[in-house]
Amino acid sequence: MSEETLTLMTWLIPAGPLLVFFIITLFTNRNRTLSWTLAWAGVIASLVLSWTVVANMVGLDVHELAHHPVQYASSIDWLPFGPCPPQEGGNCTLWLDMGVAVDALTAIMLFMVPLAVFMIFVYSVGYHNYGQPRGMIKGVPNHGQEDPLFSRFFALMSLFAGAMLVLVVADNLLLLFVGWEIMGFCSYALIGFWYARDYHLQPGDIPHIPPRQAARKAFMTTRIADVVMLLGIVLFYRSFGTLNFNEAFTLHGFEHAIAGIGLGGIALMPLLLFTGTVGKSAQWPLHAWLPDAMEGPTPVSATIHAAAMVSAGIYMLLRIFPLVAVSLENNPEVGWIIAGIGAFTALMAATIAVAQNDVKGVLAYSTISQLGFMIAAIGVGGYIAAAFHLITHAFFKALLFLSSGSVIHGMEHGAMHVHDHHTDPQDMRYMGGLRHKMPVTFWAFLIGGMALSGLPFITAGFWSKDEIFAHAYHEFTHGNPLGLVVLVMLGLAAFLTAFYTTRQLAMTFAGKPRTPLAEHAHESNKFMTVPLVILAFFAIVLGWLGIPDHFLGQDLGQINFVHHFVLTTIEEPMIELHEAGLTPIDVHEEITWSWVPLITSLVVALGGIGAGWLVYGRKPLQKEQPDPLIRAFGPLHTFLNRKWYWDELYHVLFYRPTVWFSETFASEWVDKGVVDGTLHAIANIVYAIGRYCKRFEEVVISGGVDKIKDGFLYFARESRLLQSGRIQEYVLYSGLIAVALAFMMLFVSIYGGMEWLRGLF
**Residues 313 to 332: which contact another protein by CB under 8 A?**
330-331
Region 720-759 residues binding another protein, contact defined as CB under 8 A: 727-729, 731-732, 735-736, 739, 742, 745-746, 749-750
Q: Is 652 in the site for another protein (CB under 8 A)?
A: no
Region 213-232 residues binding another protein, contact defined as CB under 8 A: 213, 215-216, 219-220, 223-224, 227-228, 230-231
Per-residue contact track with another protein, 118 to 157, x per CB under 8 A?
----------------------------------------
Stretch that binds another protein, among 208-216, 351-359, 399-407, 632-640 (CB under 8 A): 208-216
Q: Is 710 in the site for another protein (CB under 8 A)?
A: no
Q: Is 174 in the site for another protein (CB under 8 A)?
A: yes
Residue among 113, 94, 97, 95 at smallest CA distance from 105: 113
What count of residues does the chain have? 761
Q: Is 20 in the site for another protein (CB under 8 A)?
A: no
CB 284 within 8 A of CB 268: no
User: Does the bond joining 285 to the residue before it have cis omega, within 30 degrees of 0?
Assistant: yes
Q: How many CB atoms lie within 10 A of CB 724?
A: 9
Select 258 or 446, whichever has its Cβ closest to another protein: 258
Select 271 or 615, whichever has its Cβ closest to another protein: 271
CA–CA separation, 457 and 347 (whole Å): 24
CB 525 within 8 A of CB 440: no
CA–CA separation, 119 and 111 (whole Å): 13
Stretch that binds another protein, among 252-260, 498-506, 510-518, 646-654 (CB under 8 A): 252-260
Residue 619 DSSP one-character state: S
Select 37 or 213, whichever has its Cβ closest to another protein: 213
Options 136, 201, 234, 541; binder of another protein; rule CB under 8 A = 234
Select 654 or 696, whichever has its Cβ closest to another protein: 654
Stretch that binds another protein, among 108-116, 170-178, 411-419, 646-654 (CB under 8 A): 170-178
- How far are the Cα atoms of 88, 352, 553, 619, 648 from residue 302, in angstroms, in the given order? 49, 20, 38, 31, 27
Region 59-78 residues binding another protein, contact defined as CB under 8 A: 77-78
CB 410 within 8 A of CB 126: no
Q: What is the dihedral of CA 371, 375, 381, 384, to 10 degrees?
A: 20
| Cα of 95 vs its chain's centroid, Å | 28
CA–CA separation, 137 and 127 (whole Å): 11
- Taking the complex as a whole, the smallest distance from the CB of residue 360 to another protein amounts, in Å, to 22
Q: Is 404 in the site for another protein (CB under 8 A)?
A: no
Options 195, 336, 644, 650; binder of another protein; rule CB under 8 A = 195
CA–CA separation, 298 and 307 (whole Å): 13
CA–CA separation, 213 and 293 (whole Å): 10
Residue 92 DSSP one-character state: S
Select 80 or 481, whichever has its Cβ closest to another protein: 80
Q: How many Cα atoms sit within 13 Å of 91 on the Cβ side?
A: 1
Name the 3-class secondary structure at 60.
Answer: coil
Stretch that binds another protein, among 294-302, 310-318, 605-613, 672-680 (CB under 8 A): 672-680
Stretch that binds another protein, among 1-9, 49-57, 175-183, 386-394 (CB under 8 A): 175-183
Q: Is 690 in the site for another protein (CB under 8 A)?
A: no
Options 70, 181, 534, 633; binder of another protein; rule CB under 8 A = 181
Select 631 or 758, whichever has its Cβ closest to another protein: 758
Name the 3-class secondary structure at 431.
Answer: coil
Options 262, 439, 634, 657; binder of another protein; rule CB under 8 A = 262
Q: Is 263 in the site for another protein (CB under 8 A)?
A: yes
- Taking the complex as a whole, the smallest distance from the CB of residue 681 to another protein amounts, in Å, to 13
CA–CA separation, 538 and 86 (whole Å): 55
- Taking the complex as a whole, the smallest distance from the CB of residue 740 to another protein amounts, in Å, to 9
H/E stretch holding 104 reads helix 104-127
Q: Is 131 left (phi over 0), alpha (psi -120 to 50) or beta?
A: left
Residue 716 DSSP one-character state: H
Q: Is 673 in the site for another protein (CB under 8 A)?
A: no
CB 651 within 8 A of CB 217: no
Options 80, 439, 657, 673; binder of another protein; rule CB under 8 A = 80
CA–CA separation, 97 and 171 (whole Å): 9
Options 1, 55, 136, 196; binder of another protein; rule CB under 8 A = 196
Stretch that binds another protein, among 308-316, 580-588, 663-671, 716-724 (CB under 8 A): 663-671
Q: Is 613 in the site for another protein (CB under 8 A)?
A: no
Select 689 or 739, whichever has its Cβ closest to another protein: 739
Q: Is 259 in the site for another protein (CB under 8 A)?
A: yes
Q: Is 178 in the site for another protein (CB under 8 A)?
A: yes
Q: Is 659 in the site for another protein (CB under 8 A)?
A: yes
Select 259 or 699, whichever has its Cβ closest to another protein: 259
Options 40, 150, 188, 430; binder of another protein; rule CB under 8 A = 188
Stretch that binds another protein, among 189-197, 382-390, 595-603, 610-618 (CB under 8 A): 189-197
Could you give the residue ranges of the DSSP H alpha helices within 355-456? 359-379, 383-418, 434-437, 439-453
Q: What is the 3-state secondary structure (H, E, C) of 190-216?
A: HHCCCCCCCCCCCCCCCCCCCHHHHHH
Options 662, 684, 702, 723; binder of another protein; rule CB under 8 A = 662
H/E stretch holding 658 reads helix 656-660
CB 171 within 8 A of CB 70: yes
Region 444-503 residues binding another protein, contact defined as CB under 8 A: none
Options 130, 199, 265, 629; binder of another protein; rule CB under 8 A = 265
Query: Long-range contacts for 622-626 (Cβ within 8 Å, ≥24 apart)?
Result: 622/511, 622/512, 622/514, 623/512, 623/514, 623/515, 624/514
Q: How many CB atoms lie within 10 A of CB 676?
A: 11
CB 375 within 8 A of CB 317: yes
Region 88-107 residues binding another protein, contact defined as CB under 8 A: 90-91, 93
Options 59, 82, 203, 553; binder of another protein; rule CB under 8 A = 82
Select 583 or 641, whichever has its Cβ closest to another protein: 583
Q: How many residues bind another protein (CB under 8 A)?
A: 78
Select 533 or 748, whichever has its Cβ closest to another protein: 748
Select 37 or 330, whichever has its Cβ closest to another protein: 330
- Taking the complex as a whole, the smallest distance from the CB of residue 234 to another protein amounts, in Å, to 5
| Cα of 332 vs its chain's centroid, Å | 27
Q: Is 293 in the site for another protein (CB under 8 A)?
A: no
Select 303 or 327, whichever has its Cβ closest to another protein: 327
- Taking the complex as a whole, the smallest distance from the CB of residue 591 to another protein amounts, in Å, to 29
Select 89 or 204, whichever has its Cβ closest to another protein: 89
C-alpha gyration radius of the chain: 33
Q: Is 177 in the site for another protein (CB under 8 A)?
A: yes
CB 435 within 8 A of CB 407: no
Q: Strand pairing partners for 96?
A: 79
